[in-house]
């Protein structure tokens, strides 16, 4: 039996280390104190333009590259500091960028005897950084216009300036030849109007697209979800609608301003898989600058909208209080007049009604007419403001109005002891076409029911003059409907009379908690009104 051959363990490790250093993708160079090359690996040889490397000055085989810093004299720096140095080299001929890390080799006396240089190819990273800088500069240029220029230029002139700048940088920096930018219309909810179309088919530009999840292509999907979309294969994409003949791939990103969608930016190509995730991120960066530029160039119209909203809401608050007071006071005035006459005459109610029956009828009819005129004023004001309001206020605009069309022209009665809730609720529902009337107790609410009908009721679980559940039962008795569109309102944990528990058993579906949020309120109103429409229609 032959005994195994023994090997020198140290020599084996050394050979393996040599092989590793020779073949790693990082360039390793052993340099003397005179900056001449003592040894180098294969990667360094591949980056040099000569075969004569040993004993050459370090920078010469690399083609005398440009030092980009931060250290412009690494070998000299190390001689002074005895610490490693870092810098970037640029080989001009191939356009290669190398991270250069230089470390001193010290002897026992702490003297430098050699240098070890490590080089890594960072061309892609460096080019990407340069690209981002150019893109940021381009973004600044997009919105580089003074307030005086904005005031001097017409809307068309401002748009033409923006179009020219977007096209220039999209071609020069992003290298895109086919782009489409759409912005949300100020006149029609959800409509995406073309702002810029470069290389797109005429039919695609004229196509009406809306910010909806389905039926409006990738553009509509992106605007609806406020998310970017990378399309790699049109044959397998259910949302894709052709923008250019033969398109094989596209990127679509939302135009966002302060987190709100104001439009979309679309790029298409006839090459399959023409775009990567990196391209998508680049376009998102550029799109954010485009959105800012659109806002800047339309700053006056945005400010006009803000002023309009402030004026509308101020006017609404000023008008709401006296109109609602008039309505609620009319309901108590009839009873007040009758009781006053009873006290002053000493007669019974029945006797007084026989004596001045005609007078009571006249008073009642007059008060009803006041209520009717007051409601007409509310309706006219609501319709007039809705016609001049270009869009919802920004704090409400993240809620899709189209999803709550059923609330338009609906009249809501709110019952709560807190008088401040009426104006607040009215302002929230105003932009959805609802009219809100508010009273502070159940008695007045029942009186209101004698003169008008309501599409929904919002009632606190605690009202001052009666049980909130008793009030619900009385409303059901008056309306004689299978389902009453009723919403109870309570603070978290506050339901001392178990009103909500009893109401659930009786079939009440709507519940909101103070302080209520707009989506919660809208969803409950939509639920009870829809349910009332379905159940009461069957009954009728």
Name the pairing type of β-strands 486-491 and 456-460: parallel
- Count of C-beta atoms within a 10 Å radius of residue 485: 27
Residues of the chain with pLDDT under 50: 1-6, 299-307, 388-398, 540
Label each residue of 207-218 as H, E or C: CCEECCCCCCHH
From CA 36, how far away is CA 38, in angstroms rounded? 6
Dump pLDDT digits (tens) for 254-297. Answer: 999 888 899 999 999 888 888 989 889 888 988 888 888 877 76
Q: Show the CA angle centred on residue 174, arms to residues 156 and 177, nearest 5°.
A: 65
Q: What sign does the CA torsion over 415, 418, 420, 424 have?
A: negative
Equal CATH topology for 19-121 and 302-539: no
CATH T-level assignment (fold) for domain 19-121: Beta-Lactamase (3.30.450)
265 vs 286: CA distance, rounded Å:
9
Q: Report the DSSP beta bridge partners of residue 253.
A: 265
Report how far residue 97's alpha carbon sits from residue 112's, in angstroms, rounded to the nearest whole number.
28
**pTM exceeds 0.85:** no
Q: HSE of 386 in the Cβ direction (CA atoms, 13 Å)?
A: 18
The architecture of the domain spanning 302-539 is 3-Layer(aba) Sandwich (3.40)
Taking every pair of C-alpha atoms in the chain, what is the biggest distance, in angstroms?
139
CB atoms within 10 A of CB 436: 24
The predicted structure's pLDDT at residue 374? 64
CA geometry: angle 140, 142, 144, nearest 5 deg: 65
State how far the Cα of 416 lies from the Cα of 489, in Å rounded to an integer.
9
Short-list 470, 461, 459, CA closest to 498:
461
Tokens representing residue 533 in the block: 């429409």
Question: What does the domain layout of the chain look like in residue ranges?
Answer: 19-121, 128-297, 302-539
Partners of 39 in the β-ladder: 30
Residue 24 vs residues 18, 101, 118: alpha-carbon distances, Å: 10, 16, 11
Yes or no: domain 128-297 corresponds to CATH 3.20.20.70: no
Burial of 64 (0-12, 13-18, 19+ CB in 10 A): exposed
Tell me: cis bond preceding 70? Omega within 30 of 0 counts.
yes
Cα 219 to Cα 261: distance, rounded to the nearest angstrom: 12
Residue indicated by tokens 């810029």 = 196
Quick one: which of 470, 454, 453 has its CA closest to 462? Answer: 470
Report how far residue 514's alpha carbon sits from residue 490's, in angstroms, rounded to the nearest whole number. Answer: 6
């Amino acid at each position: 039996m032959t005994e195994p051959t023994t090997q020198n363990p140290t020599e084996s490790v050394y050979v393996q280390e040599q092989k590793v250093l020779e073949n790693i993708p990082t360039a390793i160079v052993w340099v003397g104190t005179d900056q001449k090359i003592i040894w180098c690996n294969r990667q360094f040889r591949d980056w040099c333009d000569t075969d004569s490397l040993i004993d050459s000055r370090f920078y010469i085989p690399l083609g005398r590259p440009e030092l980009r810093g931060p250290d412009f004299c690494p070998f000299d720096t190390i001689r002074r500091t005895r610490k490693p140095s870092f810098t970037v080299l640029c080989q001009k001929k191939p356009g290669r960028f190398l991270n250069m890390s230089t470390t001193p080799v010290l002897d026992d006396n702490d003297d430098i005897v050699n240098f070890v240089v490590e080089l890594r190819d960072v061309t892609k990273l460096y080019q990407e950084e340069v690209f981002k800088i150019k893109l940021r500069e381009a973004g600044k240029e997009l919105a580089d216009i003074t307030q005086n220029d904005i005031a001097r230029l017409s809307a068309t002139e401002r748009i033409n300036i923006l179009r020219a700048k977007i096209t220039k940088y999209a071609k020069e920096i992003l290298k895109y030849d086919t782009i489409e930018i759409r912005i949300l219309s100020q006149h029609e909810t959800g409509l995406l109007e073309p702002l810029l179309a470069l290389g797109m088919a005429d039919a695609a530009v004229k196509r009406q697209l809306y910010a909806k999840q389905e039926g409006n292509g990738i553009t509509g999907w992106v605007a609806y979800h406020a998310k970017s979309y990378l399309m790699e294969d049109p044959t397998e994409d259910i949302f894709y609608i052709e923008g250019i003949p033969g398109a094989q791939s596209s990127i679509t990103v939302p135009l966002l301003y302060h987190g709100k969608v104001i439009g979309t930016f679309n790029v298409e190509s006839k090459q399959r898989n023409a775009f990567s995730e990196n391209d998508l991120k680049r376009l998102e960066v550029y799109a954010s600058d485009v959105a800012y530029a659109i806002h800047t160039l339309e700053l006056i119209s945005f400010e006009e909208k803000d002023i309009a909203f402030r004026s509308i809401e101020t006017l609404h608050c000023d008008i709401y209080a006296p109109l609602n007071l008039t309505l609620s006071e009319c309901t108590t005035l009839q009873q007040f007049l009758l009781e006053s006459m009873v006290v002053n005459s000493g007669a019974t109610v029945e006797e007084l009604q026989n004596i001045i029956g005609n007078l009571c009828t006249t008073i009642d009819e007059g008060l009803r007419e006041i209520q009717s005129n007051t409601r007409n004023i509310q309706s006219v004001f609501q319709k007039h403001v809705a016609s001049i309001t270009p869009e919802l206020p920004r704090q409400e605009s993240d809620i899709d109005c189209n999803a709550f069309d059923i609330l338009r022209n609906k009249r809501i009665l709110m019952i709560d002891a807190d008088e401040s809730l009426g104006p607040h609720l009215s302002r929230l529902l105003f932009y959805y076409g609802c009219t809100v009337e508010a009273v502070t107790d159940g008695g007045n609410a029942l009186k209101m029911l004698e003169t008008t009908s309501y599409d929904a009721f919002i009632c606190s679980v605690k009202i001052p003059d009666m049980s909130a559940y008793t009030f619900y039962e009385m409303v059901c008795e008056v309306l004689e409907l299978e389902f009453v569109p009723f919403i109870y309102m309570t603070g978290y944990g506050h339901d001392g009379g178990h009103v909500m528990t009893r109401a659930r058993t009786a079939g009440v579906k709507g519940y909101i908690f103070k302080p209520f949020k707009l989506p919660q309120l809208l969803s409950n109103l939509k639920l009870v009104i829809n349910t009332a429409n379905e159940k009461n229609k069957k009954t009728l």
